[in-house]
Amino acid sequence: MLYVITGPPAGGKSSWITARARATDIVIDLDRLALALAGPGAPSWQHDPTLLKVAHRARFAAIDEAVKHRDQVDVYLIHTMPSPKAVARYKRLDAEIITVDPGQDIVMQRVRDMRDPAMTAVATRWYRQHARRQHGQPAGRQASRSW
C-alpha cells in the first residue's frame, strides 16, 4: 500500500510514520534522504541548496522504484504540499492520502521552537493552500504527540 502523508512543516508527519511503519516498510522522507546524503554534523532540517537538489533527485528515483513494490511492502511517502498533478498520480496508484495536522497554533509554536525561521512562511503557505483546497470545509485533524 502507498501512504502519502501530507501536512505542514513540524506537523508530526515523521512521528505519524514512526508510530506505524515496520522495519521492512519503505519510508521516503526528503529530510531523511538529505541527512543521509549530507556530511557529518549536518543540520537535520536546514539543508544546503545543492544537497537539496541531490536529495530531490534521489527522492524521485526512490518513489519511482518504491511504487513498483507497494503490493509487497507498505510505502510511506512524505509530501508536504502535493500539487494537483501529484495528487492525481497518487490516486491512480490507489494511494491513501493522509493529512497530519495538529492545528496551526501548535505548528507555528513548533516551528518557532525547533525549525529555521524561514519555515514559518512554508507553514503559512501550507495553511493557505489547504484552506483553499478544502473550499471552506473544516480540515480533518490528526493528533500528534505534544512536543
Helix (H) / strand (E) element for 128: namely helix 119-134
> What number is the average pLDDT over the span 32-46?
86
State the pLDDT confidence band at 5, using cuts at 50, 70 and 90: very high
Q: How many CA atoms lie within 13 A of 96 on its CB side?
A: 9
The pLDDT of residue 81 is 93
Separation CA 48–CA 147 (nearest Å): 26
Q: pLDDT tens across 89-126, in order?
A: 999 999 999 999 999 999 999 999 988 788 899 999 99
131 or 101: whose pLDDT is higher?
101
The pLDDT of residue 46 is 74
Q: Among the listed ranges 37-46, 52-61, 89-98, which one has the minimum average pLDDT value?
A: 37-46
